[in-house]
Structure 1
Amino acid sequence: MRHLLTAALFAPLLIAAAPAPDTDVRSAAKAFDQAQLSGDKAALERFLAQDFIIVRGSGKQVGREDFIAGWLTPGVTFEPLTIFDSVFVPLGPQAAIVGGRVELRGAENGKPFVERFHYSDVFAWRDGRWQVVFVQVTPTPAS
């Protein structure tokens, strides 16, 4: 009985502490995308969980530091990003998948490039903020 009473007393606090995944995480996802495109190392470090993992289109799995380094490559610039076929899958009050299909355009040492892929970013509510814990990238052919 005591546990039920304790749970009843703290339930409102737990609900209040839980984020609203359908709005807050979408804003976090946009900010995370912008941090990547602009090469904002501090923002990327804030967004990525310490145990972050990405599975690249090649199938190679790497961690946080490799992911950040990829967005900070000297001589690489990116154009603004448009996301097609947006995906939002709530996984409860403290997790969600945000993804879609993109055509990433930019230049490396002045030479233009285009990469087309689907992505899924898994966000988790940790330490009072949304953090990216997992990313999966799948290359797609030109449309």
Structure 2
Amino acid sequence: MSRLPLLGLIVIALVGTLDMSRAPDAAVAQEDAHPLVGTWRWENDPADLADDSFGTFHADATYIEVTANVGTALGAWEATGERSGDVIFVFQDGDPSLEYAPGIGTFQLAAEVDQSGDILSATGSLVAQAPDGTVLNEFDGWTFVATRLEVGMPVPFPAPAAGTPVAAAPAAPTDADLIRDRERERPRAVVDADLEAAELLHAADFQVINPFGQALSRDDYLGGIAAGGLDFLVFEPISEIELRLYTDVAVIRYQMRLEVIADGEQLDFRGWNTNVYEYQDGRWQAVWSQITMSQ
């Protein structure tokens, strides 16, 4: 199952900086008659009407949204114009499928009501975080459309009228895309000696086989970098990153260029890097790596 399917299933948002401590009476005075106030049916995926969600902008500047897959979100909103506003709300579920994954999803959205007062268009982004606050993924560039829910409107709900803009979103990165991104981040982390980032990218039981056939644990590997015994100058893919994905395990390989100073001796070569990733604790991490020198 993809760990990060299209998160346009839900619309949560944060655009700009909102003052969450403002006085309620000021919020009501500003937003009581705003056209955003009301309940809206979000058409998250035009190809799947069952994927719709329902959100309510309250006159007291609070927001609530209900979905079929990740539960209920709570948030707040703020008027930015006569027909527009920014809103922030958060779901306590890191996986938008029917499976529950601990974490939070905070979406960013700027919304505007059309002249009819019944169609709402919005653009936004998402930050997905693990329970410890680690940012797992960030997405941007989605657009969404919602229709005002009113007493007396036809039931069942009609499909969007011809010519009416519908929700559209860029394809969310697949697990394969995410793993390739992780494998680009991993060498950068060791070159930069960014041990905090490197620890997140390497599993606790990570093991690397270096070009000389020596097996190093994560502590050996990252400890060598911390102590200065391993100083990576260049560590970069020079070919396409090929990948085989098997549910919670992925195998990747690519050609690479490596320049490293190991115990005072500088090595500069090209070779193959083969890695195994596992999905652990809500994120993909490298568990095995083998570097083979080719020249």
Q: TM-score by structure 1 length?
A: 0.72
CA contact (8 A) 1:20 1:93 kept: no
1:49 to partner: Cα distance? 1.1
Note if 1:126 corresponds to 2:280: yes
Runs of 5+ unmatched residues, structure 2: 1-96, 102-172
Give a deviation string over 1:89-112, Cα, whole Å, max 9, x none.
Answer: 223232222331222235679986
CA contact (8 A) 1:90 1:97 kept: yes
Note if 1:91 corresponds to 2:245: yes
Q: Which stretch shows the higher mean deviation, 20-29 or 102-111?
A: 102-111
Counterpart of 2:4 in structure 1 is none
Note if 1:13 corresponds to 2:98: yes
1:26-45 equivalent positions in 2, closer than 5 A: 26-45=180-199
1:34 to partner: Cα distance? 0.9
* In 1, Cα distance between equivalents of 2:217 and 2:180: 23
Note if 1:52 corresponds to 2:137: no
**Identical residues among aligned pairs (%):** 24
Give a deviation string over 1:81-139, Cα, whole Å, max 9, x none.
Answer: 44123332223232222331222235679986413221112111110111111001111
Q: Which structure ranks higher in relative contact order (CA pairs < 8 Å, sequence separation ≥ 6)?
A: 1
1:50–1:106 distance in 2 versus 1, CA, 3 Å: closer
Counterpart of 1:4 in structure 2 is none
Q: Which has the larger radius of gyration?
A: 2
Counterpart of 1:6 in structure 2 is none
1:13 to partner: Cα distance? 2.4
Equivalent position SS for 1:135: strand
* In 2, Cα distance between equivalents of 1:67 and 1:109: 13
Q: CA RMSD in A?
A: 2.9
Give a deviation string over 1:17-47, Cα, whole Å, max 9, x none.
Answer: 6x93221111111111211111111111111
CA contact (8 A) 1:37 1:71 kept: no
Counterpart of 2:50 in structure 1 is none
**For residue 98 of structure 2, what is the amino acid of its counterpart?**
L
* In 2, Cα distance between equivalents of 1:75 and 1:51: 21
Q: Which has the higher helix share?
A: 1
Counterpart of 2:259 in structure 1 is 105
Counterpart of 1:64 in structure 2 is 218
**For residue 190 of structure 2, what is the amino acid of its counterpart?**
Q
1:37–1:55 distance in 2 versus 1, CA, 3 Å: same
Equivalent position SS for 2:211: coil
1:108–1:127 distance in 2 versus 1, CA, 3 Å: closer
CA contact (8 A) 1:116 1:139 kept: yes
Q: Which stretch shows the higher mean deviation, 70-79 or 130-139?
A: 70-79
Give a deviation string over 1:40-99, Cα, whole Å, max 9, x none.
Answer: 111111111111111222112121111112333538654454412333222323222233
Counterpart of 1:74 in structure 2 is 228
Counterpart of 1:8 in structure 2 is none
Q: How many residues align?
A: 129
Runs of 5+ unmatched residues, structure 1: 1-11
**For residue 93 of structure 1, what is the amino acid of its counterpart?**
T
**For residue 89 of structure 1, what is the amino acid of its counterpart?**
L
* In 1, Cα distance between equivalents of 2:262 and 2:221: 17
